[in-house]
């Protein structure tokens, strides 16, 4: 990692090497758990999960397919209780082992909603892998089978995570300077 983070970043929470190491560990766990389960489908939640998913799926050795969903979000940082699907899967998931891949669990609304929707479609199994989860009670109440990192309840960017669609491609996860919110 470069010595100085992006000027909008107050501090680096998780550096690039730590992320890559954790992704490798998660992939090894998933490889082990799905070794005897054919028809694994990774479902990435756009846009935030696309970088995490691309690293995770390439670290897996177990055969799998990849598809995406997208849900609406309202405002820049506000996470409302209302979730709406704006991009759905191309194929039915009945009989498939589905692993939902999400960037971050904040209020937990998005994950809870997607878990309900996918479970109703009759997959052989449904599990969730999240890169990060905020340390707040609501986020803890949603089941996550594979968790990368627990982070403080602050707005973070990088490694797919954005603020108003910026800072997604930083290689680390960092906390934005407060003045950037204005
Ligand atoms: P939820 O509040 O758990 O439903 O999270 C909704 C979505 O908001 C997540 O999937 C992320 O895409 C986004 N989000 C929540 N917290 C952050 C953050 O700190 N940085 C960037 N995106 C976030
Ligand atoms: Mg997301």
The per-residue pLDDT for range 117-149, each reduced to its tens digit, is 999 999 999 999 999 999 999 999 999 999 999
Residue found under tokens 């939640």: 45
**Of 106, 145, 162, 165, which residue is the catalytic one?**
106
* Ligand 1 pocket check for 128: Cβ under 6 Å: no
Instruction: Evaluate whether residue 51 is within a structural domain.
Output: yes
When pLDDT is averaged across residues 10-15 and rounded to a whole number, the result is 98
Helix orientation angle between 16-33 and 50-59, rounded to the nearest 10 degrees: 60
* Ligand 1 pocket check for 167: Cβ under 6 Å: no
Instruction: Evaluate whether residue 180 is within a structural domain.
Output: no
Domains in the chain: how many in total?
A: 1
Question: Does residue 1 carry a pLDDT above 60?
Answer: no
Say what the pTM is.
Answer: 0.94
Instruction: Evaluate whether residue 44 is within a structural domain.
Output: yes
- Proportion of the chain above pLDDT 70, given as a percent: 93
Question: Does residue 75 carry a pLDDT above 50?
Answer: no
- Supply the pLDDT for residue 103: 98
Greater confidence, 171 or 182? 171
Residues 6+ away with beta carbon under 8 Å from 26: 56, 59, 129, 146, 148
Instruction: Evaluate whether residue 28 is within a structural domain.
Output: yes
**DSSP assignment of 121-180:** T--SEEEEEEEEEESSHHHHTS--SEEEEEE-SS-EEBTTB-BTTBSTT-SSEEEEPGGG
When pLDDT is averaged across residues 143-169 and rounded to a whole number, the result is 97
Ligand 1 centroid distance, CA of 29 (Å): 24
- Supply the pLDDT for residue 64: 98
Mean pLDDT for the chain overall: 93
- Supply the pLDDT for residue 67: 98
Instruction: Evaluate whether residue 162 is within a structural domain.
Output: no
* Ligand 1 pocket check for 174: Cβ under 6 Å: no
Instruction: Evaluate whether residue 95 is within a structural domain.
Output: yes
> Highest-confidence range of 9-23, 80-94, 168-182, by mean pLDDT?
9-23
Give the span between the Cα atoms of 154 and 96, in whole angstroms.
Answer: 36
| pLDDT confidence band for 79 (50 / 70 / 90) | low
* Pocket-testing residue among 86, 104, 107, ligand 1, by greatest number of atoms within 8 A of Cβ: 104
- Supply the pLDDT for residue 74: 57
- Supply the pLDDT for residue 82: 79
Domain that holds residue 20: 16-153
Instruction: Evaluate whether residue 168 is within a structural domain.
Output: no
Question: Does residue 76 carry a pLDDT above 50?
Answer: no
Give the span between the Cα atoms of 103 and 40, in whole angstroms.
Answer: 19
CATH number at residue 96: 3.40.50.2020
Instruction: Evaluate whether residue 4 is within a structural domain.
Output: no
Task: Record the tokens describing residue 182, joined without a space.
Answer: 């204005």
Question: Does residue 81 carry a pLDDT above 90?
Answer: no
């Amino acid at each position: 990692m470069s010595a100085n983070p992006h000027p909008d970043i107050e501090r680096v929470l998780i550096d690039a090497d730590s992320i890559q190491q954790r992704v490798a560990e998660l992939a090894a766990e998933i490889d082990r758990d799905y070794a005897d389960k054919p028809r694994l489908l990774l479902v990435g939640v756009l846009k935030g999960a696309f970088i995490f998913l691309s690293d995770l799926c390439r670290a897996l050795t177990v055969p799998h397919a990849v598809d995406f969903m997208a849900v609406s979000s309202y405002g820049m940082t506000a996470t409302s209780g209302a979730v709406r699907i704006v991009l759905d899967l191309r194929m039915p998931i009945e009989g498939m082992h589905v692993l939902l891949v999400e960037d971050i669990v904040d209020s937990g609304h998005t994950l809870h909603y997607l878990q309900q929707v996918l479970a109703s479609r009759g997959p052989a199994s449904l599990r969730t892998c999240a890169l990060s989860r905020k340390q707040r009670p609501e986020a803890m109440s949603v089941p996550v089978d594979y968790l990368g990192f627990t982070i403080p309840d602050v707005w973070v960017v990088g490694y797919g995570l954005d603020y108003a669609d910026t800072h997604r491609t930083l290689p680390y996860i960092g906390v934005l300077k407060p003045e950037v919110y204005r």
